[in-house]
Structure 1
Amino acid sequence: MTDVHSGSRTADSGPQSYPEAVRLDDPGLVRAWTQGATAALRRERGAIDRVNVFPVADADTGTNLYLTLREGDRAVAAAPADATGPQLLATLARAALLGARGNSGVILSEWLRGLAVAARRGGTAADLLTRAAASARSAVAVPAEGTILTAADAAGAAARAAVSGTAAGALPAVTAAAAAARASARASRDELDVLRSAGVLDAGALGLVLVLDALVVAAEQAAGTGSDLGPATGSDAAPGTEPGTTPGTARGGESGGVPGGVPGGVSVVRGSMDAVNLDQLLDAGALPSVPDAADPAYPAPDPASGTAEPAGVASHDAGSGGLELMFVLTRPAGEASETVAAGLRAALAEVGDSVVVVGGDSGTGAAVWQAHVHTDHLDQALAIAAEVSRAGTLAQVHVRHLAAAGQDEWGVVAVTSAPGLAAELAHTGAVVLLSGGLVGSTVEPLTPDDVGRAAASTGARRVLLLGAPDVTAGIEQPLDVDELITVPAATDVHAVVALAALGTLLPLGLPDDVGVPDPVDARALVGEALAGLTVRAVPGTDAVETLRASAGPGTTVVTALLDADAPADLADRLTAVLGERAPDAELVVLATGRPGDGVHLGTETDNPETDGPETDVPEVDA
């Protein structure tokens, strides 16, 4: 088996002599660790994404881990210079919780929260790592072995064993923890059937290995046992490379010559220390080689799909949940955190799987939780969110279709206050941000960072933003996409029509190196569709006559969005009127799920008289 190095010691090294003064709650160590771990995940996110098959093969575990930890790193970097180590760990955990992405990111945020709780109580390094593992496992409704949870358990147990009966500090504990997590990741393929079938190691466990290896580096730096140990970020990167990469490594951690396309020679640290090579770790798991395209059993890729199946990775059913719902819940402090979390976890498990609920009392007078579920019953899951937030608020209500994941040229973020449309919009390939419309629940206003995170979740290079004002100028940190383009979309009808125009093209476009001769211009497609659109918002009782007056021989499509209390027979009556006024036109009727009797009617024509989309909303707030 390939030996994989961590810091300047290998997993098979003999006993070491360690300084005793190093503690994980040293503020300098915390700052160095978060920076180094974030850099490592940024470099390796592409490699981890490519082996992601559990809980669903949506190729985003590396990206989600990176985006989650990056939020924490930014918060730590912005913390006051005199902040203590426990304060920095608390800052890291809270920011990671609020910015957590995906199943793996939410679990990582709770692992970090466990560290922070133990640090606040004055625990040792072994205490911190043990509490982190327990917190992460307790957050998952149905824990699975052979995952990041198993690796975290192994790390905690090894840390405790390494310092049992001694007064040693953090270094032996974290070194043992990193080695144990690495061994657990290597063994993951034999613990989980879906990993065995695909012939890969668990993506989440690999991410935790990088996080712990970075912790070893930071602890060695704090102990003064290493030399020139700074993470390779910014100006520390080698000349001619992208920040956070090593020479010969392409953007996203890609390089050739390694089975399965996993990057070679990518390390957590620079200088005289041995490299932590993720390709070696993956190779130790016997990642299958690239299939022979001449083999008749190997299906040819579909160029129109815009995605390529990772080598050796079998397709995996999305289970019982094709949609991913995430939201942040805030309630007044005082109620037992575990009571709220356990109740929410159980309720969501009734309507989906991959349920994770993390968080609790933030120490600021409020309790904050992040919830995650994969579901085919989005309406029921949203009703659970609305019910649990009656005593508080919701934020970052995020819906994504798991099958739409992948690195593409164009993506869409759609903002809507219509919960009934969230599934419809997500199934087109958009990442949906729900801004309201949940009965009895208050949804906090979207922030620029909310939109930025959603844009990153599309997996695309360029993103169209529908249904929200231009927030690019308000985003304080650099975007994770090349371009974020705001498209005027004053109503939900505009978003529906825009996504219909893109149709089956979403996710749009192939990466540049695929050699597409005529790249798709998503912005132009949407602009052309909206140029012939007129939207009118009226009470349900006036909808029939409004359609009678607005439809005519040039009408091609009418989109009717009906609020919850609109007349029950309205769809049939609209169909009859359109048959009279424009027999060849198509009628699309969708329920918004919003309270009230309002109706939005959008009429599209093939001979628009205006240069841009017209919106007439005289009676109902759009």
Structure 2
Amino acid sequence: MLEALDAGEVRRWVAACVQSLDAHRAGIDRINVFPVADGDTGSNLLDTLRAALEALLRAPTAERVDAGAAFGVAARGALAGARGNSGVIASQLLRGMAAALRGVDAVTGPDLVAALRSGARMAAAAVSEPAPGTMLSVLDAAATAVGDDLHGVAVAAASAAAEALRRTPEQLPVLAEAGVVDAGGRGVVVLLDALVAVVAERPAALAAAAQARADELGTSLVTAREGGSDLYGYEVMYLLHDTDDPAADRLRDELDRLGDCVSVVGDGDGLWTVHVHCNDIGAAIEAGIDAGRPRRIRVARFADTTPAEPQRYSRDRAVVAAVRGEDLAELFVAEGVAVLRVGAAEPDPYALLEVITGTAAAHVTVLPGDTGLMSVADEAAIRAVAGGQDVVVVPCASPVQALAAIAVHDPRRRSGDDVVAMAEAAAATRRGEVVVAEADGITWVGPCAAGDVLGFADGEVVLIEPGPAGPEALTRAAVGVVERMLAAGGELVTAVVGQTAPAGLTEAVARHLRQERPDADLATHRGGQTDSVVLFGVE
């Protein structure tokens, strides 16, 4: 459980928002009946958050050294890439959060409370005529969350938002008539659910939490898509430069006379985003010219049918693993896994990204082979998500945990359910290891010298066999590690044998099991890894 969000975690949250919105885009679009039934709220929110993530990925390191700075970069990216009224509101939510967090290194519970309140206020200020029962109502409810710990505040905000979303049909007759909740408010709940998942450090919780929320809200989330607006037939958006606050106020008044759903909002640094639903496109653009210098002008006609997206992916899902050891890599390949073979040098996230995108799969589960590969997997996943793929990293501290995840992988299940099953299998597998100490040191069980044999269980040294690291010392250590791990129970021991393992090591482990634990089975694989003599997994 995270106690605070640093700049890296802020970026993970934005990536999680993109991932979750991508999964729920079609459902949100289907229930979009207010302020106009244009069926694009989910798509607009997704495009806006993708712009925020792209800005974070492209920003120089100096611009995202702390959490507050990272929020600022995301807010500027969201504003520049905002789509639709919902996208503008989302950009202002991020801008308000950034303003409250300016100079904050890591976001704690009280920081998040202040950020949500600031974000809700700035989002409300972006709409010229706010109405109850919209995403602004849901944001206001989320901003009532209080607490001292980060997780508690995130959960409280998500729960309050979900409750406010349920009430939106009571506040807007058009929602009640259509039998739906507000589409923009649904998007807010998706964003907050993603925040809860990131704070809880449960990557697989994204799909599970989102599906649970959808089930909880019931069938009222689905309705047939309706036609265009009877009053205003066009949506006009553009970015505005070379203007000031008085000119922006005059522009807002002029657009209010031309149409509705007006927002004229700035990033505080000279860039403004303009949005209006109207019939007179030329007048809306001319008003922008009078106020400043418009660019990136976009016009959409509500009556037009959006063409279907071309199929980007040739398969539904894939599993990718990053592992050390040629034999271990072949073991994963035999199970149908796309593999990045990691050598002695630190791997490049872009190499793993190439493997992920090379699968041509819409949904990809990534299994890092050890804790040293987790950051590489996270970085590659964030960049793949920014490109439109649905990528989830299942935490694996050892190849034996990745093997356990693969053992339960079932492509016939829904992707979210399959990821949950793989994550649970990995987490339930205890890991052990036998290595040779490279230098003198102090461990939990006493001092060790270079050349001693160390036995690990779940990341902690549990035994030391004095060197030199000959066959007998290595074998005793392997048997000792298995014995200690099985003291807590277990039915299956998996051994992954490294290049330096002596002959007879696994046979000695098998004899020990037959004599002392006949109820436990042994599965042996040749891994070929050079950084450990043998790896063990107990399930």
State TM-score, norm by structure 1. 0.47
Based on CA coordinates, which of the two structures has the bigger radius of gyration? 2
What SS does the aligned partner of 1:396 have?
A: strand
Shift, 1:169, TM fit: 3.5
Matches of 1:194 and 1:359, distance apart in 2: 30
Matches of 1:91 and 1:85, distance apart in 2: 10
What SS does the aligned partner of 2:131 have?
A: coil
Matches of 2:152 and 2:309, distance apart in 1: 46
Name 2:125's counterpart in structure 1.
138
Name 1:513's counterpart in structure 2.
none
Shift, 1:376, TM fit: 0.8
Deviation string, structure 1 residues 363-399 (Cα, Å, up to 9, x no partner): xxxx11101000012222111111001xxx3221111
Residue 84 in structure 1 maps to residue 66 in structure 2 = yes
Q: Given the alignment, which residue of 95, 100, 104 partners 1:118?
A: 100
Shift, 1:37, TM fit: 0.9
Residue 355 in structure 1 maps to residue 262 in structure 2 = yes
Deviation string, structure 1 residues 442-500 (Cα, Å, up to 9, x no partner): xxxxxxxxxxxxxxxxxxxxxxxxxxxxxxxxxx999889xxxxxxxxxxxxxxxxxxx
Name 1:179's counterpart in structure 2.
159
Q: Given the alignment, which residue of 268, 277, 282 partners 2:212?
A: 277
Matches of 2:214 and 2:154, distance apart in 1: 22
Q: Is the 8 A contact 1:328 1:397 kept in 2?
A: yes
Q: Is the 8 A contact 2:236 2:297 kept in 1?
A: yes
What SS does the aligned partner of 2:155 have?
A: helix
Q: Is the 8 A contact 1:200 1:282 kept in 2?
A: no
Deviation string, structure 1 residues 140-199 (Cα, Å, up to 9, x no partner): 011111111000000001x2xx22xxxx13322221111111111111111111101100
Deviation string, structure 1 residues 551-599 (Cα, Å, up to 9, x no partner): xxxxxxxxxxxxxxxxxxxxxxxxxxxxxxxxxxxxxxxxxxxxxxxxx
Name 1:402's counterpart in structure 2.
302
Q: Is the 8 A contact 2:28 2:187 kept in 1?
A: yes
Matches of 1:355 and 1:146, distance apart in 2: 17
Matches of 2:167 and 2:278, distance apart in 1: 29
State TM-score, norm by structure 2. 0.53
Name 1:268's counterpart in structure 2.
206
Matches of 1:208 and 1:377, distance apart in 2: 31
Matches of 1:52 and 1:372, distance apart in 2: 17
Shift, 1:75, TM fit: 1.6
Q: Given the alignment, which residue of 236, 252, 255 partners 1:345?
A: 252
Name 2:85's counterpart in structure 1.
103
- Amino acid corresponding to residue 134 of structure 2 in structure 1: T
What SS does the aligned partner of 1:400 have?
A: strand
Query: What does 1:46-445 align with in structure 2 at a 5 Å threshold?
Result: 46-81=26-61, 83-120=65-102, 122=104, 124-157=111-144, 159=145, 162-163=146-147, 168-221=148-201, 229-230=202-203, 268-269=206-207, 276-283=211-218, 286-287=220-221, 310-311=223-224, 315=226, 318-331=229-242, 335=244, 337=245, 339-362=246-269, 367-389=270-292, 393-408=293-308
Name 2:524's counterpart in structure 1.
none
What SS does the aligned partner of 2:75 have?
A: helix
| TM-aligned CA distance change 1:480 to 1:385, over 3 Å | farther
Matches of 1:77 and 1:141, distance apart in 2: 33
Q: Is the 8 A contact 2:37 2:227 kept in 1?
A: yes
Matches of 2:117 and 2:386, distance apart in 1: 35
What SS does the aligned partner of 1:408 have?
A: coil
Matches of 2:37 and 2:210, distance apart in 1: 29
- Amino acid corresponding to residue 66 of structure 2 in structure 1: T
Q: Is the 8 A contact 2:228 2:302 kept in 1?
A: no
Q: Is the 8 A contact 1:61 1:204 kept in 2?
A: yes
Q: Is the 8 A contact 1:51 1:59 kept in 2?
A: yes
| TM-aligned CA distance change 1:134 to 1:80, over 3 Å | same
- Amino acid corresponding to residue 287 of structure 2 in structure 1: I
Q: Is the 8 A contact 1:60 1:405 kept in 2?
A: no
What SS does the aligned partner of 1:129 have?
A: helix
Matches of 2:51 and 2:212, distance apart in 1: 25
Deviation string, structure 1 residues 92-128 (Cα, Å, up to 9, x no partner): 0101111111111111111111111111165711110
Q: Is the 8 A contact 2:78 2:91 kept in 1?
A: yes
Q: Is the 8 A contact 1:327 1:370 kept in 2?
A: yes
Matches of 1:216 and 1:52, distance apart in 2: 25
| TM-aligned CA distance change 1:54 to 1:76, over 3 Å | same
What SS does the aligned partner of 2:156 have?
A: helix
Q: Is the 8 A contact 1:36 1:269 kept in 2?
A: no
In the alignment of these two chains, the number of paired residues is 309
Matches of 1:409 and 1:348, distance apart in 2: 32
Matches of 1:102 and 1:376, distance apart in 2: 16
Matches of 2:99 and 2:116, distance apart in 1: 11
| TM-aligned CA distance change 1:136 to 1:324, over 3 Å | same
What SS does the aligned partner of 1:141 have?
A: coil
Matches of 2:184 and 2:40, distance apart in 1: 10
Q: Is the 8 A contact 1:327 1:394 kept in 2?
A: yes
Q: Is the 8 A contact 1:64 1:101 kept in 2?
A: yes
Shift, 1:56, TM fit: 1.0
Shift, 1:409, TM fit: 6.7
What SS does the aligned partner of 1:186 have?
A: helix
Matches of 1:344 and 1:360, distance apart in 2: 16
What SS does the aligned partner of 1:397 have?
A: strand
| TM-aligned CA distance change 1:145 to 1:319, over 3 Å | farther
- Amino acid corresponding to residue 306 of structure 2 in structure 1: G
Name 1:23's counterpart in structure 2.
4
What SS does the aligned partner of 1:286 have?
A: helix
> Any runs of at least 4 consecutive aligned residues in structure 1 with deviations exceeding 4 A, and if so which?
476-481
Matches of 1:87 and 1:156, distance apart in 2: 21
Matches of 1:180 and 1:340, distance apart in 2: 37
Structure 1 unaligned blocks of 5 or more: 1-18, 222-228, 232-266, 289-309, 411-475, 482-622
Q: Is the 8 A contact 2:237 2:276 kept in 1?
A: yes
What SS does the aligned partner of 2:38 have?
A: coil
Matches of 1:36 and 1:403, distance apart in 2: 32
Shift, 1:319, TM fit: 4.5
What SS does the aligned partner of 1:361 have?
A: coil
- Amino acid corresponding to residue 102 of structure 1 in structure 2: G
